[in-house]
Structure 1
């Protein structure tokens, strides 16, 4: 042990006669296969875990025996494994500070008031340091939950779990089949302003049911719930209930059920909404159901159900693993082992942990840290885009808590922490050397630098062989694969209606010509009226003849004709106006047209060295593209809908655009010739890598961060 067995301050506490606080209970548990004991305060609902040795001491606190006698008995019983006097004093101080034990001495009212004030200040400090998620307590929900529990008891038991599982599995099987439709609906609806207002209206009621589910399940197991309020997440008021007392439940399954109740409600709502949404006609009700799916599904995966954030999923994982207080213990494990190994600090002794626990700690802490940073950056980008300057301030505060605060805390430990007092110089030098290595890796070591985007095998609009009329295809004038020139006849349609209309129009015009000739001699006044009628009839005849000429499908470009279907299937088929029957493929090498976003266009223009392409059908094969040609002027139009998010592309498109080609942001188009011999399919997707050489990774990250805030800051 790093601390002496005896303490010079022991005499100050040896005569105390401690006892457990009023109502405090002790329950035996097993965590990660090892026994432990949990103290629970019924007033606050908070639980505290004790080791078997600590329990052996506290078990002797009966209010009659002095602390000195209790420790002496424990030392005699455990021998060398007994805790030292300093450890005992630290334990007693922590328990007394948590109001879990009392002594024979009169309570210090001033000390209790100070302790309560300290707790209040701590809550205020947490709200201040986390302005994007501060809590506002409102009332005690316990009476309400007790009165309403009989109405839902059948749902918060085994029957409810079975129904939930059946509903989710049923809906999930449908989601897999309808995944493309759902993805397209996300693009069409989520980004619209009206839908954001609908999400805000739906979000709070869903979260209210979420929190009520926590409370009902906790009440089912006899847990009191005394705190209900609002938690403001990125300015959005979200209900919460404090179910901390559920941590004292003896059964692991009970604790998991309490933690998972809210997630189960949200996923059940999402599943039910999907089953109705897929069969409902477009409208407000269908949009509302889709948003229920979005909130209940996406928020569960990213936030509530994600164990890397301290929400429901975290507590579920902690109980599943049998490791309470997982996040803090994982961080402490990393700190202790780093200080003991890298700094060789003699005063740092890592807390005992099994191989299983050590593996969990080693994986969890860095994963949670990286995920929190990613979420913070996402929130920062959202706030900047929606709330401008105010959003920037709060986003910076959020990033401070997620990144800068841990760094500042580590710096304080390094420079003033008592555990590193004897190895301060070594610790500073080691950290400085490590920092220099990291900085060199980030800002001195060259790393591959490239912009990745997507394009399509490009066909100009004139390549489409499209009918201008409507009829049945009577004849193919050219064979598949034949070379054709612009204006050459490719196919001819037959339309009895168009032919009859032309005959009628021609006969009517001929009749009026004869009448006009007669009226010009016999009735000059009538001739003027007949002349007007003849002019209208000739216009009708011209339109009828145009419709007849539209039955001839001609090439709009020079190249090789390729029908969409075999000629035998086309002949006799009905062809509607505007329908394509094939393409005239250019005899030159096929062209690739790809898109670069506005945030990356300067990099592409100034630092482009080469372009590589990969086809989805041959992802392992990289091919060099030819010289690039930029299409003049930026625009919001994509060359093909496949580049939009509705069809799996990287560029968000305007949900109001029926063509799926109008981008929400300005884009720049480039064109290049594809290498000969590539098995390309016109209109197919192509992955493009624009090589810029090398650049240190830190500078690339800085560029990415600048592009992230490009729209909000105009930098």
Structure 2
């Protein structure tokens, strides 16, 4: 991952980030040396560091054992759960199919013959044009939300589910083109009740080069732009129930874009930002830096040693995230009365 060494566990399929020093130590974990042999071996050049090396090695071996990476160590509950249903913090996930690589390979094989820069350029231009046209139609040519019919909302919701599936399939197609096939297509329940489609693209770590990982992260957003433009065309050239359905779809697509650019969640935009900058856990570092700065607390070592440029970057990101949250809260508060009216119209009241 950007030349940061990773351990790949073929039993669980998980990746574990390690340091360069840990990578060297791993080459000596071949089953022929005891822990004491390793301490003696690494302290030969500087016997005065035996105690320090002993503590560091114990910490490293303990971390490996907790992750189930040492032969004979028990797998954690998280690692042991390798079936179709997995649970992470506030988001249980259910894998629906693992067949996407087989379905997408014929298309991916054709697209690999086209220059990658040309594919990205065409996808980006079409997406930006689609978003611009679709949202222009939504804000200038659609009837007021209050007069839209309830059945149109239900129809738009069903169509939107298909668009979400297409969004995730776009990620899977780019991964297939890059020869890092997705592991599965599934549904996650955000906060245990909100269904969210996803593709497991864990093996994107294997993609060499930031450009490929950025495109992989942005593939869904780029495809959504094309669908937004198509929806705008339908809305502009129809009336009645079809136009109302398209109007709701445009609103949902705008909402989806806002969600996908959310800097506070592992969204497509956030993933693309991490891939482009080569930063891992930038969100956590930004808020830790903000928190310690506001409270006038001593910074931890990994933040205290940041360059002035990196610190400004993290602070800017943290402030932008806070402004983004305030904007969303303001928009949701003002949309609440209309949302209530819409919900009542759907149930016929």
Q: TM-score under structure 2 normalisation? A: 0.75
Matches within 5 A, 1:415-426: none
When residues 226 and 307 of structure 1 are mapped into structure 2, their CA distance, relative to the original with a 3 A threshold, is same
Structure 1 residue 195: Cα displacement: 3.6
Q: Could you tell me how far apart the structure 1 residues matched to 2:44 and 2:292 are?
A: 31
1:259 aligns with 2:222: no
When residues 46 and 281 of structure 1 are mapped into structure 2, their CA distance, relative to the original with a 3 A threshold, is same
Q: Could you tell me how far apart the structure 2 residues matched to 1:168 and 1:251 are?
A: 23
Q: 2:314 aligns with which of 355, 361, 366?
A: 361
Gaps of 5+ in 2: 341-349
Local SS of the residue matching 1:62 = coil
Match of 1:245 in 2: 203
Q: Could you tell me how far apart the structure 2 residues matched to 1:311 and 1:136 are?
A: 16
Match of 2:226 in 1: 268
When residues 76 and 318 of structure 1 are mapped into structure 2, their CA distance, relative to the original with a 3 A threshold, is farther
Match of 1:662 in 2: none
Matches within 5 A, 1:53-68: 53-68=21-36
Q: Deviations over 1:280-323 (max 9, x none)?
A: 132444444444444334421x1113334321111100111110
Q: Could you tell me how far apart the structure 2 residues matched to 1:149 and 1:374 are?
A: 41
When residues 298 and 382 of structure 1 are mapped into structure 2, their CA distance, relative to the original with a 3 A threshold, is closer
Match of 1:48 in 2: 16
Structure 1 residue 210: Cα displacement: 0.9
1:98 aligns with 2:55: no
Q: Could you tell me how far apart the structure 1 residues matched to 2:40 and 2:182 are?
A: 40
Q: Tell whether the 8 Å contact from 1:229 to 1:241 is kept in structure 2 after alignment.
A: yes
Match of 1:530 in 2: none
Matches within 5 A, 1:469-618: none
Structure 1 residue 255: Cα displacement: 1.5
Local SS of the residue matching 1:102 = coil
Q: Could you tell me how far apart the structure 2 residues matched to 1:242 and 1:283 are?
A: 40
Q: Could you tell me how far apart the structure 2 residues matched to 1:79 and 1:385 are?
A: 73
Local SS of the residue matching 2:75 = helix
Match of 2:166 in 1: 209
When residues 116 and 306 of structure 1 are mapped into structure 2, their CA distance, relative to the original with a 3 A threshold, is closer
Q: 1:126 aligns with which of 72, 89, 93?
A: 89
Structure 1 residue 200: Cα displacement: 1.2
When residues 233 and 70 of structure 1 are mapped into structure 2, their CA distance, relative to the original with a 3 A threshold, is closer
Matches within 5 A, 1:382-531: none
Q: Could you tell me how far apart the structure 1 residues matched to 2:142 and 2:316 are?
A: 33
Q: Deviations over 1:181-217 (max 9, x none)?
A: 5313456247733442233122211100111122222
Matches within 5 A, 1:288-437: 288-300=245-257, 302-334=258-290, 342-343=296-297, 349-351=301-303, 352-369=305-322, 371-372=324-325, 375=328
Aligned length: 333
RMSD: 4.1
Q: Could you tell me how far apart the structure 1 residues matched to 2:141 and 2:190 are?
A: 26
Q: Tell whether the 8 Å contact from 1:304 to 1:312 is kept in structure 2 after alignment.
A: yes
Structure 1 residue 60: Cα displacement: 3.0
Q: 1:167 aligns with which of 107, 126, 136?
A: 126
1:112 aligns with 2:75: yes
Match of 1:85 in 2: 54
Q: Could you tell me how far apart the structure 2 residues matched to 1:336 and 1:56 are?
A: 34
Q: Could you tell me how far apart the structure 2 residues matched to 1:189 and 1:306 are?
A: 25
**Which has the larger Rg?**
1
Q: Could you tell me how far apart the structure 1 residues matched to 2:42 and 2:132 are?
A: 60
Structure 1 residue 173: Cα displacement: 6.6
Q: Tell whether the 8 Å contact from 1:228 to 1:240 is kept in structure 2 after alignment.
A: yes
Q: Could you tell me how far apart the structure 2 residues matched to 1:81 and 1:323 are?
A: 32
Q: Tell whether the 8 Å contact from 1:266 to 1:296 is kept in structure 2 after alignment.
A: yes
When residues 319 and 358 of structure 1 are mapped into structure 2, their CA distance, relative to the original with a 3 A threshold, is same
Structure 1 residue 362: Cα displacement: 2.3
Q: Could you tell me how far apart the structure 1 residues matched to 2:230 and 2:176 are?
A: 26
Q: Deviations over 1:665-710 (max 9, x none)?
A: xxxxxxxxxxxxxxxxxxxxxxxxxxxxxxxxxxxxxxxxxxxxxx
Q: Could you tell me how far apart the structure 1 residues matched to 2:158 and 2:40 are?
A: 63
Matches within 5 A, 1:130-141: 134-139=91-96, 141=97
Structure 1 residue 45: Cα displacement: 4.1
More helix by share: 2
1:226 aligns with 2:183: yes
Matches within 5 A, 1:610-629: none
Tell me which of the two structures has the higher relative contact order, counting C-alpha pairs closer than 8 angstroms and 6 or more residues apart.
2
Local SS of the residue matching 1:112 = coil
More strand by share: 1
Q: Tell whether the 8 Å contact from 2:12 to 2:80 is kept in structure 1 after alignment.
A: no
Q: Deviations over 1:243-275 (max 9, x none)?
A: 122133222122212211111111121123334
Q: Could you tell me how far apart the structure 2 residues matched to 1:350 and 1:165 are?
A: 37
Q: Could you tell me how far apart the structure 2 residues matched to 1:80 and 1:260 are?
A: 51
